[in-house]
């Protein structure tokens, strides 16, 4: 059995900031939807009908602020915003894929 007494405060964990972002409601789903390319806010709303505008917006803000997605203003008529996954976001997707292949914890 491993003794984890060396970590007295979970904030000492180097992965804590990333986990804090990825545990924001709807963040993993948003990353999954951006894997296939640019996506608009309205498309995210349709793809995640159980989510509301405020929670999706908050998750997008947090993901963008931490470099997991990029927000682009497309200056066409009509003006719109698209979201794309970044290289950092892609690396997190790889972690999600690896975790999903692990057997369940007994």
Q: Residues 56-77: pLDDT tens digits?
A: 999 999 999 999 999 999 998 8
pLDDT at 77: 87
In percent, the amount of the chain with pLDDT more than 70 equals 84
Mean pLDDT, the chain, integer: 84
H/E segment holding residue 84: strand 80-85
Q: CA 56 to CA 75: how far, in whole Å?
A: 23
Judge: domain 16-98, CATH 1.10.10.10.
yes
Lowest mean pLDDT among 5-19, 24-38, 58-72, 75-89: 5-19
Predicted confidence (pLDDT) at residue 40 exceeds the cutoff of 80: yes
pTM: 0.78
Q: CA 92 to CA 26: how far, in whole Å?
A: 15
**Taking the domains of the chain in order of start, what are their residue ranges?**
16-98
């Amino acid at each position: 059995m491993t003794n984890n007494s060396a970590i007295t405060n979970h904030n000492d964990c180097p992965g804590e900031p990333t986990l804090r972002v990825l545990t924001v409601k709807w963040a993993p789903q948003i990353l999954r939807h951006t894997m296939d390319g640019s996506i608009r806010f309205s498309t995210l709303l349709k793809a995640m009908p159980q989510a509301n505008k405020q929670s999706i917006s908050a998750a997008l803000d947090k993901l963008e602020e931490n470099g997991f997605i990029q927000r682009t203003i497309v200056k066409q008529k009509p003006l719109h915003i698209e979201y794309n996954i970044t290289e950092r976001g892609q690396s997190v997707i790889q972690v999600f894929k690896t975790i999903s292949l692990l057997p369940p914890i007994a």
